[in-house]
Amino acid sequence: MRQAETHTGIDREVVVFDRYLDTQQVAEILNISVQAARRWCETGKLRASRFGALWRVKVVDLQEFISEGEREGHTYSKNYNTGVKPRTQRT
């Protein structure tokens, strides 16, 4: 069953069933590169939806992904090997 949030505006009430994160937010939460987050969305490793050229991940799906990973012994830290080198910052 979905959990819903109710937001009351000036002239209407909006019910929000799902919150979405972009690949930048997913990358920050999992401590992986944005490229790895996109690749995981493209390959189906991480359940995601595509809106035009943008990938979006439901918060509940990300929580489930993290929980499944923890049960399998994965930890998502800066040392997690994604196979993608992080982008270097330009000065």
Model pLDDT for residues 65-79, shown as the tens digit of each residue: 988 888 888 777 543
The C-alpha atoms of residue 71 and residue 56 are separated, in whole angstroms, by 24
Query: Under CATH, what is the fold of the domain 19-80?
Result: Multidrug-efflux Transporter Regulator; Chain: A; Domain 2 (1.10.1660)
The C-alpha atoms of residue 2 and residue 23 are separated, in whole angstroms, by 23
DSSP state of 2: -
The structural domains of the chain, with segments of one domain joined by +, span 19-80
pTM of the model: 0.63
Model pLDDT for residues 21-42, shown as the tens digit of each residue: 999 999 999 989 999 999 999 9
